[in-house]
């Protein structure tokens, strides 16, 4: 019985004493609990910043952030805002006479917030965090040059019909080289994707020498699949399993021989109907050997179609003098309906005289190339004519030498210059002898054009060998070659004098995925005429100039290399080189490219190579610290690329100076993961400087040699800048940095403004930042204004992109008064809590190209466009230019402007009438927002009737608005004034959530003149049906 009583008493104590003590704690421990709040807040902010950095890095890798991460970030921002308001409340209560009564309730709130922040901190480990964004697939390929001629239309339709036939899984498209098979296959693939005949459509180039691994990688890249297997067999099995799920169309382009599908991983049997295949080939036999159920032939163009295509490319009409004499039509006849020949010859003759056209016709008629299959003689003659019509000898040489690269290879322009010393690609692109590749800094050769280039080189005594391997009997076939390139060497061959016996050789390129080369001493003794020598690993990708090197392969340079008296270009990329002191003896050397390689030290004698113009030490690993000293003595250089990935190089070389340096990319102290590789690859600046932790005191910077690099840079990135600078211009460059195209400042706590024109004596420019295109400002803790420019010496006339984030003291961007932002396209502002206004009306009138505005977490924001008083210059100007305001704005996103007395409306009515291109409007979590269009006064119907003396409706023409999102806007009353009539013919999606004061009247008005029909739950979501 006693035990029962004790148990009852204990239970009573648990339910009574415990809560009493808990509440007593709230009463007695206010200071202790409140004292823990800042620490918990700071810890959560650090975690949030870390997560946001991961988000930014993932976005740069084109990854999609997991919804759980985005929700966590939103929850954190909400809690931090609530904590901020709670701290303000604590401060108020501490001054109150009745503070003891309030402290009890506050302590409960504080404890809950601390617990909530601890919970968010605990839940910040995300797995997965992000996923790779899906590639665009067939949408990537442009259709601008595609012409669907009548003779091609039947082929196009046959291919589509075959794809719709479920009994057909293998289709062959056969035709002459250059007849347009690839282009047609791409268009059919795009149409199949559009019609949803397959879930995925993937294209892969096979080429004359199939590379299983390359084909596999091309396919998986577009399927979003990652290989974990290293062997080709393992990858084949993985790929096969993926292709058996869902439906996929594979377009295998340029197939020359029977492919072993099993080796690649392509399932093909009667039981698998989910994977369809289109293969393009020049041979019907290939289609038969591959057991194509349907073989479709692509014929050449008819005479009329050929004539139309020729006119298009030669830029002539039926009334042109060439046509009136019949010369043009006879030239078209010689092209025999082959599209590539027609396009090439037409482009070559564009702008030439009648006499030149007649001479071209004569050459075409008389030309009869030997050793060419009969069906290809006319196209070869056409392409040879295009070559002969090149008046620039350098362009001719470049055309022939481009054939040393493998078939279907995308050639980087920088490599053309370094390895071949030539840059005449524009002439060749205009003549269609070179094609623009997937990126603007690359070109490629059509495989038939490449065949012609190799044939011309052979016929004219400039024989070129481009091979994918080494033949032991190669000495008999290469004796008279001028250039040799050997690609994808896999067996670690020993290079000796028996393999390379070609005394006339001038260019020698070796490329290997993994091979460590051993070069015999006798090898180079028989190659004394060599001018260009390159050893390249596939760790260094040709098409990715800034690729980091994951590992090194050994390459030992023999003593005999010093016998190469004519060697002017040496590229050793991605190798473990050891001692390279032998390079001091190469007196004719002009280009030394050691990108991505590792070696002991940079030889002192490099500074004595008087002809050396280009030195590339980008991403090199050195074991000693002498490189900066040696480089500092290389005063003869015109180009320098420097980033040494070694802990021995922690300090920035402030005292390096080059009077002749015209191009440079200099990166100091940055960790590899901070390298701006994407920006450098995309923009290819002529002069780039990136420094992490640069300490330049105000007294010493002006006298430092490095200031020249700083002031002449096109691309400038500074992180953790120290030295007492409060601005960039004029303190660091009084001349205005007018060479600068890209500027990024990050973690520079002393910067208060970017440009300050108040110091008139120091400033030496009337138009600062005149070439600036991209400006990024991040984590500048003391930045108050971006531009402090009362004297209007900064026009920003070239600015296209402005990104500002985490600048917590920024209260105003303060665009210069007279600046014309006529090229600004993108404005993104994130987490600038003190920012109150974005634009003045006078600036808005210049935003003719602005397409995207995204503003988030700017808590104190009151105006997108600053309000001005009636009668002021800005007011009169804004009223007189209403139709010109933001004519190209497509996307407007505003989120997280939550403070009291904050943003009450988005645009005034004078601006709303000019939004002719607006497609997406997204407004979320703006607590004080009352209106989207129009301010308080403009929503007063009486004022409108008084001013206009009429009561008719005013149209708001948002003709392209497709999506309107309104979320968590507790004070939103009206979208537009009641006297307005919205015209929204393309509105497809309207989302309205947590807008309790918004009347159904405005939503129904939006629905009436749109593609929408109301959902069953009004005021929540409207969808297109």
303-389 CATH, one of 2.60.40, 2.60.120, 1.10.20, 1.10.8: 1.10.8
CA distances from 97 to 13, 100, 318, 347, 475 (A): 35, 8, 96, 88, 101
Q: Which structure tokens are listed for 542?
A: 């040709």
CA quadruple 264, 269, 275, 279: dihedral positive or negative?
positive
Confidence label for 426 from pLDDT (cuts 50, 70 and 90): low
What CA–CA distance (Å, rounded) separates 496 from 500?
7
CB 427 within 8 Å of CB 395: yes
State the average pLDDT over residues 461-483. 70
Buried b / exposed e across 748-786, counting CB within 10 Å, b at 16+?
Answer: beebbbbbbbeeeeebebeebbbbbbbbbbbbbeebbbb
The predicted pLDDT at position 11 comes to 52
Q: Which structure tokens are listed for 817?
A: 């008064």
β-bridge pairing 801-805 and 787-788 = unpaired
CA quadruple 144, 150, 154, 155: dihedral positive or negative?
negative
Angle formed by the axes of helices 447-459 and 393-401, nearest 10° = 110
What CA–CA distance (Å, rounded) separates 754 from 816?
12
First and final C-alpha spacing in the chain: 73
The predicted pLDDT at position 565 comes to 93
State the average pLDDT over residues 538-565. 68
What CA–CA distance (Å, rounded) separates 342 from 348?
10
The predicted pLDDT at position 425 comes to 61
The predicted pLDDT at position 811 comes to 92
CA distances from 166 to 25, 187, 221, 1000 (A): 74, 20, 26, 50
Residue 554, beta-bridge partner list: 576
What CA–CA distance (Å, rounded) separates 890 from 854?
11
CA distances from 76 to 41, 73, 92, 223, 533 (A): 10, 5, 24, 35, 57
Q: Is the backbone peptide bond immediately before 128 cis, with ω within 30 degrees of 0?
A: yes
Angle formed by the axes of helices 393-401 and 413-420, nearest 10° = 100
Q: Which structure tokens are listed for 838?
A: 């974005």
The predicted pLDDT at position 135 comes to 66
Question: Residue 849 pLDDT > 70, yes or no?
Answer: yes
Lowest mean pLDDT among 314-328, 740-754, 995-1009: 995-1009
The predicted pLDDT at position 571 comes to 94
Taking only the tens place, the pLDDT of each residue in 790-807 is: 667 787 889 999 999 999
Taking only the tens place, the pLDDT of each residue in 914-967 is: 888 999 999 999 999 999 988 877 766 655 555 554 556 677 888 889 999 999
What CA–CA distance (Å, rounded) separates 171 from 542?
33
State the average pLDDT over residues 885-894. 92
What CA–CA distance (Å, rounded) separates 190 from 183?
11
Give pairs for 598-605: CB < 8 Å, separation 24+: 598/552, 598/622, 599/623, 600/624, 601/626, 601/627, 602/626, 602/627, 602/630, 602/631, 603/630, 604/630, 605/581
CA distances from 876 to 414, 843, 864, 882 (A): 53, 14, 18, 11
What CA–CA distance (Å, rounded) separates 482 from 465?
8
Confidence label for 658 from pLDDT (cuts 50, 70 and 90): low
Q: What is the 3-state secondary structure (H, E, C) of 863-924?
A: EEECCCCCCCHHHHHHHHCHHHCCCCCCEEEEECCCCCCCCCEEECHHHHCCCCCCCEEEEE
Q: Which structure tokens are listed for 854?
A: 């995204």
State the average pLDDT over residues 770-794. 88
State the average pLDDT over residues 286-293. 90
Lowest mean pLDDT among 155-169, 418-432, 897-911: 418-432
Cα-Cα-Cα-Cα dihedral of 539, 543, 545, 548, to 10°? -30
Tell me the pLDDT of the chain averaged across its residues: 80
CB 576 within 8 Å of CB 560: no
What CA–CA distance (Å, rounded) separates 577 from 594?
9
The predicted pLDDT at position 590 comes to 95
pTM beyond 0.85: the answer is no
Planar angle of CA 857, 860, 861, nearest 5 degrees: 80
Percentage of the chain with pLDDT > 70? 77
Taking only the tens place, the pLDDT of each residue in 224-270 is: 788 888 889 999 999 998 898 889 999 999 898 899 999 999 987 65
Q: Is the backbone peptide bond immediately before 730 cis, with ω within 30 degrees of 0?
A: yes
Taking only the tens place, the pLDDT of each residue in 801-827 is: 999 999 999 999 988 877 788 999 999
Q: What is the 3-state secondary structure (H, E, C) of 153-213?
A: HHHHHHHHHHHHCCCCCEEEEECCCCCCHHHHHHHHHHHHHHCCCCCEEEEEEEECCCCHH
CA distances from 479 to 42, 457, 504, 525, 674 (A): 73, 15, 8, 15, 48
Of 363 and 969, the one with more pLDDT: 969
Q: Which structure tokens are listed for 201?
A: 């459509």
Question: Residue 432 pLDDT > 60, yes or no?
Answer: no
CB 509 within 8 Å of CB 537: no
The predicted pLDDT at position 1016 comes to 37
State the average pLDDT over residues 505-526. 80
What is the DSSP track for 546-558?
TPPP---EEEEPP
β-bridge pairing 517-519 and 435-436 = unpaired
Which residues have a Cβ under 8 Å from the Cβ of 1006 and sit 6 or more positions away? 964, 975, 982, 984, 987, 990, 1012, 1022
Question: Residue 567 pLDDT > 80, yes or no?
Answer: yes
Lowest mean pLDDT among 238-252, 354-368, 727-741: 354-368
State the average pLDDT over residues 263-288. 83
Question: Residue 722 pLDDT > 80, yes or no?
Answer: yes
Classify residue 939 by its DSSP letter. G
Helix (H) or strand (E) holding 518: strand 517-519
Question: Residue 474 pLDDT > 60, yes or no?
Answer: no
Buried b / exposed e across 603-620, counting CB within 10 Å, b at 16+?
Answer: beebbebeebbbbbbbbb
State the average pLDDT over residues 554-565. 88
Taking only the tens place, the pLDDT of each residue in 966-1006 is: 999 999 998 888 778 788 888 888 889 899 998 876 666 66
Question: Residue 63 pLDDT > 70, yes or no?
Answer: yes
CATH code for 463-649?
Answer: 3.80.10.10
Of 767 and 92, the one with more pLDDT: 767
Question: Residue 1023 pLDDT > 50, yes or no?
Answer: no
With tokens 């501490």, the residue in question is 94
Q: What is the 3-state secondary structure (H, E, C) of 694-746?
A: CECCHHHHCCCCHHHHHHHCCEEEEECCECCCCCCECCCCCCCCCCCCEEEEE
The predicted pLDDT at position 414 comes to 86
| Domain residue extents for the chain | 11-132, 137-297, 303-389, 463-649, 828-1025
Q: Which structure tokens are listed for 478?
A: 């290469």
Helices and strands in the chain, H and E counts: 30, 45
Cα-Cα-Cα-Cα dihedral of 557, 559, 563, 567, to 10°? 20
Residue 304, beta-bridge partner list: none
Question: Residue 331 pLDDT > 50, yes or no?
Answer: yes
Residue of 436, 398, 392 lying closest to 417 (CA atoms): 398
Cα-Cα-Cα-Cα dihedral of 764, 769, 771, 777, to 10°? 150
What CA–CA distance (Å, rounded) separates 398 from 54?
44
Cα-Cα-Cα-Cα dihedral of 694, 695, 696, 700, to 10°? -130
Percentage of the chain with pLDDT > 90? 24
Q: Which structure tokens are listed for 508?
A: 């020698």
Of 453 and 499, the one with more pLDDT: 453
The predicted pLDDT at position 17 comes to 46
Confidence label for 136 from pLDDT (cuts 50, 70 and 90): low
Of 359 and 365, the one with more pLDDT: 359
Topology of the domain comprising 137-297: Rossmann fold (3.40.50)
Q: Which structure tokens are listed for 359?
A: 């001479």
Q: Which structure tokens are listed for 495?
A: 């290079």
Question: In the chain, helix, strand, coil percent, each to 5?
Answer: 35, 20, 45
The predicted pLDDT at position 881 comes to 47
What CA–CA distance (Å, rounded) separates 973 from 997?
5
Confidence label for 87 from pLDDT (cuts 50, 70 and 90): confident
């Amino acid at each position: 019985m006693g035990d029962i009583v004790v148990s009852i008493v204990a239970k009573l104590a648990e339910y009574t004493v415990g809560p009493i003590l808990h509440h007593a704690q709230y009463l007695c421990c206010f200071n202790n609990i409140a004292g823990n709040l800042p620490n918990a807040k700071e810890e959560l902010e650090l975690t949030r910043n870390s997560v946001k950095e991961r988000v930014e890095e993932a976005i740069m890798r084109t990854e999609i952030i997991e919804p759980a991460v985005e929700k966590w970030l939103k929850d954190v921002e909400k809690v931090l805002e609530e904590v901020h308001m709670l701290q303000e409340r604590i401060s108020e209560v501490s001054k109150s006479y009745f503070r003891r009564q309030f402290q009890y309730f506050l302590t409960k709130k504080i404890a809950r917030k601390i617990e909530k922040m601890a919970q968010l901190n605990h839940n910040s480990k995300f797995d997965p965090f992000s996923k790779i964004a899906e590639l665009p697939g067939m949408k990537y390929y442009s259709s601008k040059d595609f012409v669907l001629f009548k003779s091609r239309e039947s082929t196009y339709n046959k291919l589509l019909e075959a794809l719709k036939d479920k009994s057909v899984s293998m289709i062959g498209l056969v035709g002459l080289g250059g007849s347009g098979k690839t282009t047609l296959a791409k268009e059919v693939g795009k149409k199949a994707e559009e019609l949803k005949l397959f879930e995925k459509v993937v294209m892969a180039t096979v080429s004359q020498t199939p590379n299983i691994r390359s084909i596999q990688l091309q396919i998986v890249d577009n399927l979003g699949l990652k290989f974990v297997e290293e062997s080709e067999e393992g990858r084949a099995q993985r790929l096969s399993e993926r292709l058996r799920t869902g439906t996929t169309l594979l377009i295998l382009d340029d197939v020359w021989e029977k492919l072993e599908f099993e080796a690649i991983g392509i399932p093909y049997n009667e039981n698998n109907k989910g994977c369809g295949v289109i293969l393009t080939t020049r041979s019907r036999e290939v289609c038969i050997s591959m057991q194509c159920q349907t073989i479709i032939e692509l014929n050449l163009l008819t005479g009329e179609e050929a004539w139309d295509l020729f006119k298009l490319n030669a830029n002539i009409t039926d009334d042109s003098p060439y046509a009136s004499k019949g010369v043009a039509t006879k030239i078209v006849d010689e092209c025999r309906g082959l599209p590539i020949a027609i396009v090439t010859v037409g482009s070559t003759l564009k702008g030439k005289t009648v006499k030149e056209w007649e001479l071209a016709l004569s050459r075409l008629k008389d030309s009869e190339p030997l050793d060419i299959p009969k069906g290809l003689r006319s196209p070869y003659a056409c392409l040879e004519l295009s070559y002969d019509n090149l008046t620039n000898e350098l362009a001719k040489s470049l055309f022939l030498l481009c054939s040393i690269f493998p078939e279907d290879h995308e050639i980087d322009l920088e490599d053309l210059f370094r390895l071949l010393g030539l840059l005449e690609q524009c002439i060749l692109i205009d003549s269609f002898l070179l094609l623009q590749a997937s990126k603007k800094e690359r070109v490629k050769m059509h495989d038939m054009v490449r065949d012609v280039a190799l044939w011309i080189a052979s016929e004219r005594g400039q024989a070129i060998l481009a091979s994918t391997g080494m033949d032991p009997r190669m000495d008999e076939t290469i004796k008279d070659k001028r250039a040799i390139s050997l690609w994808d060497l896999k067996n670690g061959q020993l290079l000796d004098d028996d393999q390379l016996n070609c005394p006339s050789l001038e260019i020698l390129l070796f490329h290997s995925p993994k091979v460590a080369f051993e070069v015999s001493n006798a090898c180079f003794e028989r190659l004394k005429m060599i001018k260009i020598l390159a050893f390249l690993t596939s760790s260094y990708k040709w098409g990715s100039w800034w690729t980091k090197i994951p590992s090194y392969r050994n390459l030992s340079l023999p003593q005999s290399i010093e016998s190469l008296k004519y060697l002017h270009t040496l590229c050793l990329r991605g190798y473990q080189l050891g001692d390279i002191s032998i390079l001091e003896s190469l007196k004719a050397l002009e280009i030394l490219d050691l990108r991505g390689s590792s070696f002991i030290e940079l030889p002192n004698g490099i500074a004595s190579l008087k002809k050396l113009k280009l030195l590339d030490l980008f991403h090199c690993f050195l074991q000693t610290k002498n490189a900066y000293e040696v480089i500092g003595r290389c005063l003869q250089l015109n180009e320098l690329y420097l980033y040494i990935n070694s802990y021995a190089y922690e300090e920035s070389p402030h005292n390096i100076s080059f009077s002749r340096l015209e191009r440079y990319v200099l990166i100091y102290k940055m960790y590899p993961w901070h390298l701006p590789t994407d920006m450098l690859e995309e923009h290819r600046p002529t002069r780039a400087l990136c420094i992490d932790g640069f300490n330049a005191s105000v007294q010493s910077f002006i006298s430092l040699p490095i200031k020249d690099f700083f002031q002449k840079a096109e691309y400038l990135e500074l992180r953790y800048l120290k030295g007492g600078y409060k601005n960039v211009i004029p303190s660091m460059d009084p001349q205005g940095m007018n060479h600068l195209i890209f500027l990024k400042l990050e973690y520079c706590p002393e910067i208060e403004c970017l440009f300050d024109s108040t110091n008139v004596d120091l400033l030496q420019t009337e138009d600062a930042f005149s070439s600036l295109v991209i400006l990024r400002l991040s984590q500048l803790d003391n930045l108050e204004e971006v531009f402090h420019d009362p004297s209007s010496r900064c026009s920003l006339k070239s600015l296209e992109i402005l990104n500002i984030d985490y600048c917590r003291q920024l209260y105003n961007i303060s665009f210069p008064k007279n600046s014309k932002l006529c090229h600004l396209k993108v404005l993104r502002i994130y987490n600038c809590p003190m920012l109150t206004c974005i634009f003045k009306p006078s600036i808005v009138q210049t935003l003719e190209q602005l397409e995207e505005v995204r503003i988030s977490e700017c808590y104190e924001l009151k105006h997108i466009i600053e309000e001005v008083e009636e009668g002021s210059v800005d007011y009169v100007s804004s009223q007189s230019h209403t139709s010109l305001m933001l004519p190209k704005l497509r996307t407007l996103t505003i989120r997280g402007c939550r403070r009291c007395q904050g943003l009450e409306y988005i645009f005034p009515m004078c601006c709303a009438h000019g939004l002719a291109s607006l497609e997406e409007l997204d407004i979320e979590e703006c607590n004080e927002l009352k209106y989207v269009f129009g301010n308080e006064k403009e929503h007063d119907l009486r004022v409108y009737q008084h001013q206009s003396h009429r009561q008719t409706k005013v149209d708001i023409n948002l003709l392209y608005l497709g999506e309107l999102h309104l979320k968590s806007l507790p004070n939103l009353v009206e979208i537009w004034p009641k006297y307005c009539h919205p015209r929204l013919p393309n509105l497809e999606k309207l989302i309205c959530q947590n807008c309790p004061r918004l009347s159904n009247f405005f939503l129904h008005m939006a629905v009436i003149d749109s593609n929408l029909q109301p959902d069953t739950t009004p005021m929540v979501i409207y969808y297109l049906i």
